[in-house]
Amino acid sequence: MTIDHDKLTRLARMVAGTRPDELMCDQVMDVICAYFEAVESGAQLTPEQQAIARHLEACPECVETFHGLCDACREPGPDDS
């Protein structure tokens, strides 16, 4: 297959963000709720939560899930279904 210019550029960005101790997507999903509530409340982020923030900067899938969670948790009024 052809690895085109855009894909290589994307790969370069992914590679430059690689850290030995980075969180994997499944680890992010395990702690995304507490992260969401910390962000929502403006609380100081723990080091682990800062690692989540870094992961979200680089991972389109997790950030999509995070935004979905933000939307889902925007509780409507009591009669809104």
Taking CB under 5 A as the binding criterion, the range among 5-13, 21-29, 30-38, 41-49 that sits at the site for Zn ion is 21-29
Binding mask 9-48 for another protein (x = CB under 8 A): xxxxxxxxxx-x-x-xxx--x-xxxx-xx-----------
Neighbours of 55 (CB within 10 A): 22
Q: Which of 58, 52, 57 is nearest to 26 (CA)?
A: 52
Write out the binding residues for Zn ion, residues 38-77 only, by CB under 5 A: 59, 62
Q: How far is the CB of 15 from another protein (least distance, A)?
A: 5
17 contacts 60 by C-beta, under 8 angstroms: no
Contacts 24+ apart (CB under 8 A), 40-48: 40/70, 40/73, 48/23
Interface contacts to another protein, rule CB under 8 A? 1-5, 7-18, 20, 22, 24-26, 29, 31-34, 36-37, 61, 64-65, 67-69, 71-74, 76, 78-81
